[in-house]
């Protein structure tokens, strides 16, 4: 009798093991333009007041998302009714800075603009290090024989050019990330900080004048990550200010240590608050520790002159796409097809404030270890058509898929060929594109940790960041198709036999 039971049990086990793979299209087809339209008219309605980080409309949006997951019976990764990940942020204004150079008082906004997020009660500096362009790349470094640990580094904008007018860093006529795009300055600051510098002075007259003008007329607070005291700091300075530090800067370009006496104190001017990422979780059956993160940002830009900026495309489209994807996976689970790996649905706050929600998740408090994070599929604007595709509306920009994992790119291609047949446009998928899209949405915070990413994007359009980005302008048939593409890609990533391999990571990125 016992033996018979065992045979029956083994029989069941065998059946369970050879379970036929199900056709994911059964569940992909539950993602519909009608449902997306209904959800988006709720999420991007005036009621949520433009979902500005720190404002009541943002809280209404996070409550709405939580309710959606509760009603779909998609769990929280925290294992209870807590669907919010608290992200500590700050409203920051310009700090109070007192500085003398060789005993002479320097005045803020008249030669230097300080970074906001730092508190330094008192710092006496006797030397600064001039590091040219401040570039530290594979084939060119300004830091070769310089030890900048604990020091103040001074760098200039620009990058070296060869005799044939190609750029040294890229080897082509295209500028590198060190000079093109709005993160150029950040790269130089980060390079110095990565080498241990305490502070960076970056010479950039036009940036200085731009910010000085702006802050003189309006010292409004901006939102940033909560910062620690005694952090590193960076100042944008003018050429004239640099000449106060060493007067042959415009004639002598040699990297060198400069003796100069600086007395500096910085008092942060900030108020802290909490904003929430919304998180939901589907636990995998076979490899629950391996996580695929699907993300989009829930915040937008609030109101302008009393009018709500609905952010229907940016990023209402990505948000409701995620809800539909969660629902499709849930339908598969109800039929007995739980994914092999786990899925984290990550709705991010403060993307519009410098990718703060994703930065907090990846850099400070990942709910699941980053080394177990298989990939990030990030959706930011997939409901519209840009100016390049008016005659070819069946497209989506795919950014990042080719960067870290050959397999991820292949999966994008094969899944699309099989199920969705969208023209995948890779034109922005590189680090040197002047638009910098690779760095401009939340996926970048995963990519910088060598987690393969795909960013789905329709490109900017006439209503981008305007009060006219409304739900009635969304192309719902396209939104449906693009959402299904993300779903099928996620399905393959969580159900394939082996985790995708990171084979293209560059060191130091
Ligand atoms: Zn966006």
Residue 436 Cα, ligand 1 centroid: separation in angstroms?
A: 14
Q: How far apart are CA 434 and CA 423, in angstroms?
A: 22
Residue written as token pair 């370009």: 253
Q: How far is the CA of 437 from the centre of ligand 1 (A)?
A: 11
Peptide bond into 153 cis (omega under 30): no
CA–CA dist 19, 29 (Å, integer): 22
Check if 20-75+283-495 and 90-272 are the same fold: no
Cα(423) to centroid(ligand 1), Å: 21
CA of 351 to the centre of ligand 1 (A): 7
Domains of the chain by residue range: 20-75+283-495, 90-272
β-pairing, 104-106 with 112-114? unpaired
SS3 at position 323: helix
| Right CATH for 20-75+283-495 from 3.40.50.2300, 3.40.630.10, 2.160.20.60, 3.90.1150.10 | 3.40.630.10
**Helix 33-43 vs helix 318-334: crossing angle, to nearest 10:** 130
SS3 content of the chain, % helix, strand, coil (to 5): 35, 25, 40
What is the value of pTM for the model shown?
Answer: 0.80
Ligand 1 midpoint to CA 300 (Å): 7
CA of 13 to the centre of ligand 1 (A): 47
CA distances from 280 to 218, 330, 344 (A): 40, 12, 6
Q: What is the CATH number of domain 90-272?
A: 3.50.30.30
Q: How far apart are the first and last CA of the chain?
A: 63
| Residue 95 · residue 116 · CB < 8 Å | yes
Angstrom distance (rounded) from CA 118 to CA 97: 10
Q: Per residue of the chain (509 residues), what is the pLDDT tens digit?
A: 455 655 555 555 555 555 678 999 999 999 999 999 999 999 999 999 999 999 999 999 999 999 999 999 999 999 889 999 999 999 988 999 999 999 999 999 999 999 887 888 899 999 999 999 999 998 899 999 899 999 999 999 999 999 999 999 989 998 888 998 778 899 999 999 999 999 999 999 999 999 999 888 877 788 888 876 657 899 999 999 999 998 888 888 889 999 999 999 999 888 999 999 999 999 999 999 999 999 999 999 999 999 999 999 999 999 999 999 999 999 999 999 999 999 999 999 999 999 999 999 999 999 999 999 999 999 999 999 999 999 999 999 999 999 999 999 999 999 999 999 999 999 999 888 888 899 989 999 999 999 999 999 999 999 999 999 999 999 999 999 999 999 999 999 999 999 999 998 864 34
pLDDT digits (tens, 9 = 90+) for 98-139: 999 999 999 999 999 998 878 888 999 999 999 999 999 988
- Interval between CA 255 and ligand 1 midpoint (Å): 40
Show the beta-strand stretches assigned E in 349-492.
Answer: 373-379, 395-399, 423-425, 453-457
Dihedral sign computed on CA atoms, order 321, 455, 359, 265? negative
Longest dimension (CA), the chain: 97
Q: 201 - beta bridge partners?
A: 154, 235
The DSSP string of 273-293 is EEEEEEEEEE--SSEEEEEEE
User: Torsion angle of alpha carbons 292, 294, 299, 300, nearest 10°?
Assistant: 140
**472 Cα to the center of ligand 1, angstroms:** 18
d(CA 201, CA 245): 11
Element (H, E) at 184: helix 184-194
**Tokens linked to 303:** 């109101």
């Amino acid at each position: 009798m016992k033996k018979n039971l065992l045979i029956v049990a083994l029989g069941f086990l065998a059946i369970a093991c050879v379970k036929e793979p199900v056709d994911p299209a059964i569940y992909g087809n539950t993602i519909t333009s009608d449902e997306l339209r209904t959800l988006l008219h709720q999420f991007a309605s005036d009621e949520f007041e433009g979902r500005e980080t720190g404002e009541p409309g943002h809280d209404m949006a996070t409550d709405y998302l939580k309710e959606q997951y509760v009603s779909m019976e998609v769990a929280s990764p925290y294992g209870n009714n807590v669907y919010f990940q608290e992200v500590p942020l700050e409203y920051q204004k310009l700090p109070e800075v007192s500085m003398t150079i060789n005993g002479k008082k320097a005045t803020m906004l008249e030669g230097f603009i300080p970074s906001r997020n730092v508190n330094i009660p008192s710092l006496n500096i006797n030397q600064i290090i001039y590091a040219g362009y401040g570039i530290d790349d594979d084939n060119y470094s300004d830091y070769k024989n310089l030890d900048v640990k604990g020091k103040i580094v001074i760098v200039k904008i620009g990058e070296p050019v060869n005799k044939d007018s190609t750029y040294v860093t890229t080897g082509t006529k295209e500028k590198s990330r060190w000079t093109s795009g709005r993160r150029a300055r950040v790269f130089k600051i980060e390079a110095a900080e990565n080498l241990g510098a305490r502070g960076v002075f970056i010479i950039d007259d036009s940036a200085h004048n731009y910010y000085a003008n702006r802050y003189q007329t309006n010292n409004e607070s901006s939102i940033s990550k909560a910062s620690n005291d005694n952090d590193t700091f960076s100042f944008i300075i003018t050429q004239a200010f640099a000449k106060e530090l060493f007067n042959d800067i415009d004639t002598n370009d040699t990297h060198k240590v400069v003796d100069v006496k600086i007395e500096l104190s910085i008092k942060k001017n900030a108020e802290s608050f909490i904003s929430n990422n919304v998180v939901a979780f589907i636990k995998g059956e076979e490899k629950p520790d391996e996580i695929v993160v699907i993300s989009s940002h829930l915040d937008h830009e609030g109101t302008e002159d009393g009018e709500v900026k609905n952010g229907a495309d940016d990023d209402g489209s990505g948000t409701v796409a995620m809800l539909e994807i969660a629902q499709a996976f849930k339908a598969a689970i109800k039929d007995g097809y739980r994914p092999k790996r786990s899925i984290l649905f990550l709705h991010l706050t403060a993307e519009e404030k410098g990718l703060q929600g994703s930065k907090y998740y990846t850099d400070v408090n990942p709910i699941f270890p980053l080394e177990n994070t298989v990939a990030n599929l990030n959706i930011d604007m997939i409901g519209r058509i840009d100016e390049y595709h008016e005659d070819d509306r069946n497209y989506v920009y795919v950014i990042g898929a080719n960067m870290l994992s050959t397999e991820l790119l292949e999966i994008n291609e094969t899944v699309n060929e099989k199920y969705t047949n969208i023209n995948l446009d890779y034109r922005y998928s590189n680090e040197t594109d002047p638009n910098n899209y690779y760095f401009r949405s939340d996926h970048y915070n995963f990519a910088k940790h060598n987690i393969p990413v795909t960013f789905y994007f329709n490109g900017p359009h006439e209503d981008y960041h305007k009060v006219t980005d409304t739900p009635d302008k969304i192309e719902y048939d396209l939104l449906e198709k693009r959402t299904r593409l993300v779903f099928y890609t996620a399905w393959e990533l969580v159900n394939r036999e082996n985790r995708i391999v990171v084979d293209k990571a560059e060191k130091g990125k």
